[in-house]
Structure formats: C-alpha cells, structure tokens
C-alpha cells in the first residue's frame, strides 16, 4: 500500500515524523510520503525512521498556493529543499502564516471565544509552519469548541467569521517553482470543500498545458465517488498521474487514517521515475 500525503507535528499533524513512519509501517504501508505544509523540516527524521522500520519514505511537501484569492494546495515530491527560489517562497509563506496569527486571535476575541498567543504557541510547538489547526487546538483546550472540526465549521474555515487571508502565490507559479526545484507537482484535493468551481476542468487542463502540472490527487476523503470518477477520467485524458492518499493528520483529522486511500503501484512507479529524471544537483541556486 502506498500513501502519498501525510502531515506530522512539523506542520499541523499530531505524530512526530518518526511516529508517523512507525504508524505507517504498522498500518501495512510499504511507501509513505511526508508532505508537511510549507516546510521540508521533517524529512530527515522521517527518512531515518523509514530505514529503521523498513518502509520507503518519499520526500514531499504541500505548498500553499492560491487562485482568485482562495486557497489551493500543491503536493511536491522530490523537490530540492536547498533550491533557493523555492526556499525563499516557503519563507514568505511561513511568514504570512505567523503574521496572520494575531489578526485571527483579535477576531476570535471579538467573537467571544478568546485565546492568547501563548495558548496557541503551546500547540505550534517547534513547527515552523503556524496553522489554523494550532489555533483550533487552543480553542479546544480553552473549552470553546469540542474539536478542530467545530473550530473550523464555526470560526476558522475559509470565509468564516474569524478567517484572515494570508500570503500565497498563484497555483501556476507554484507548479513552476516545484519544477524549478526538480520536483513533481500534483494538485491536492482539487475538488474538496467546494473547490470544483475554483478549479474546473478548464483550469486543470490549462495548468497541465501551460505549466506541466504532473498529477491530480483523485482519491481523497474530501472527494465523493462521483467526484473521484470524474477526476480520474480527467487525469487519464490529460495523461497525468491520478494519485490517492489519506491526508493523515494524526488525531487532528478524523476519517483520514493512514492508507484510507492509496496510490496504485503503476502510478507510483511513474512518479518515482519522474522524480529521478528531474533530480537536481543539490545546492543549486535556482537562478
């Protein structure tokens, strides 16, 4: 079993990278990709754990992008963490994440569900990538909501009363940056949470034609069976990878257990050969 989308405590998951890899092995996975939001920092620990427990760890990252000011996620596989242009972009995104914290907390206070920056930072821990789930965890701890889902549904979701937009580049530019860093770019859960209007087939087709988007995450818990079937046909027609994955966040996301969706071995073989064909020399400047 092959699962190509997971999060550790290095972003908004609840397992350390080593725990995540051990849990992946215990769940019967042969291959797992660690794809923390906007950071590569968990990869060395995950790789070392993979060698210990004997499963393959694919180096990944989930890049925050946007289209028409709405959030779009891009999975990057095999991208070089040392690539200068990508590293600079990630620093900008993480800066935007940190900078958004106070305005969100101000809105929550106005809405009568106050949490302090200190309370949130307990859940951020050593993550360089501050996320709304960390704010949600602080709201749970303060007794304002029962779980992350309630925090998102009532306050934090895109367009919700405590939502504050943050810096993100256009999805096409994101694909270019991932390619510049020698990576393979797969759009994450494109039609989840009402995004089918944001990323219609015409736009996905354009991303493939103009930017060389490499794949579409088809099997994901945010996609119902009809959505999966339509996306799979589109991916096949465009000749790009159709992946499946859990988007595991530890205890942070229910119904996203490791291996709940998987990528078939033929597709993974294509992905691997694309990664190795593009593998850049490390330390390149990206210029």
**Contact footprint for ligand AMP (CB under 6 A):** 12, 37, 71, 131-133, 148-149, 152, 157, 249, 253
Token digits of residue 261: 């969706």
State the binding string over 245-264 for Zn ion (x if CB under 5 A, else -).
--x-----------------
> Binding to Fe ion by residue 148, rule CB under 5 A?
no
Nearer to ligand AMP, 123 or 152 (CB): 152
DSSP state of 156: I
Tell me how far, at minimum, the Cβ of 67 lies from Zn ion, in Å.
17
Token couple for 66: 């946007």
Number of residues that bind Fe ion (CB under 5 A): 3
Stretch that binds Zn ion, among 54-62, 121-129, 130-138, 222-230 (CB under 5 A): 54-62
Question: Ramachandran region of residue 159, left (φ > 0), alpha (ψ -120 to 50) or beta?
Answer: left
Number of H helices, E strands in the chain: 10, 8
Q: Which of 188, 207, 216, 242 binds Fe ion (CB under 5 A)?
A: 188
Region from 106-114, 166-174, 195-203, 241-249 binding Zn ion, contact rule CB under 5 A: 241-249
Q: Tell me the backbone φ, ψ of residue 219, rounded to 5 degrees.
A: -85, 100
Q: How far is CA 279 from CA 132, 180, 265, 275, 285, in A?
A: 33, 10, 21, 6, 14
Nearer to ligand AMP, 61 or 234 (CB): 61
Nearer to ligand AMP by Cβ, of 4 and 274: the residue is 4
Q: Where are the beta strands (DSSP E) in the chain?
A: 2-3, 31-34, 56-67, 70-77, 169-170, 184-187, 215-219, 241-244
Which window, 25-33, 62-70, 118-126, 226-234, contacts Zn ion (CB under 5 A)? 62-70
For position 12 contacting Zn ion by CB under 5 A, the verdict is no
Q: State yes or no: residue 137 binds Fe ion (CB under 5 A).
A: no
Dihedral angle sign, alpha carbons of residues 88, 204, 185, 72? positive
Asked if 94 is part of the footprint of Fe ion (rule: CB under 5 A), the reply reads: no
The 64-93 site mask, x for binding Fe ion (CB under 5 A), equals: ---------x--------------------
Query: Which residue's beta carbon is nearest to the bound Zn ion?
Result: 247
Nearest approach in angstroms of CB 253 to Fe ion is 7
152: partner contacted, choices Zn ion, Fe ion, ligand AMP, none (Cβ within 5-8 A by kind): ligand AMP
36 binds Zn ion (CB under 5 A): no
15 binds Zn ion (CB under 5 A): no
Angle formed by the axes of helices 17-26 and 43-53, nearest 10°? 30
Contact criterion met (CB below 8 Å) for 56 and 34? no
Q: Which two tokens stand for residue 59?
A: 């180096």
Using the 8-state DSSP alphabet, how is residue 155 labeled?
I
Report whether 12 contacts 127 (CB < 8 A): yes
Nearest to 133 by CA among 265, 10, 1, 284: 10
Positions touching Fe ion (CB under 5 A) are: 12, 73, 188
Positions touching Zn ion (CB under 5 A) are: 62, 247
């Amino acid at each position: 079993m092959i699962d190509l989308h997971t999060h550790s405590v290095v972003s908004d998951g609840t397992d350390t990278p080593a725990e995540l890899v051990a849990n992946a092995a215990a769940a019967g996975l042969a291959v797992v990709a660690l794809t923390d939001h906007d950071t590569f920092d968990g990869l060395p620990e995950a790789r070392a754990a993979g060698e210990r427990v004997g499963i393959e760890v694919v180096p990944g990252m989930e890049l925050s992008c946007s289209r028409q000011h709405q959030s779009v996620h891009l999975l990057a596989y095999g991208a070089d963490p040392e690539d200068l242009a990508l590293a600079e972009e990630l620093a900008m995104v993480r800066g935007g994440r940190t900078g958004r914290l106070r305005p969100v907390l101000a809105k929550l206070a106005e809405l009568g569900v106050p949490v302090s920056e200190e309370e949130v930072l307990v859940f951020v821990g050593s993550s360089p990538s501050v996320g709304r789930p960390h704010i949600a965890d602080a709201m749970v701890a303060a007794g304002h909501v029962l779980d992350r889902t309630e925090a998102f549904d009532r306050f934090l979701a895109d367009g919700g009363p405590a939502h504050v937009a943050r810096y993100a580049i256009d999805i096409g530019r994101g694909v270019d940056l991932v390619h510049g860093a020698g990576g393979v770019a797969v759009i994450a859960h494109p039609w989840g949470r009402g995004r089918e209007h944001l990323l219609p087939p015409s736009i996905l087709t354009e991303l493939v034609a103009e930017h060389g988007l490499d794949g579409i995450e088809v099997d994901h818990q945010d996609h119902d069976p009809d959505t999966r079937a339509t996306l799979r046909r589109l991916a096949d027609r465009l000749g790009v990878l159709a992946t499946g994955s859990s988007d595991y966040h530890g205890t942070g996301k229910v119904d996203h257990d490791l291996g709940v969706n998987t990528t078939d071995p033929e597709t993974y073989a294509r992905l691997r050969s694309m990664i190795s064909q593009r593998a850049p020399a490390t330390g390149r400047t990206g210029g």
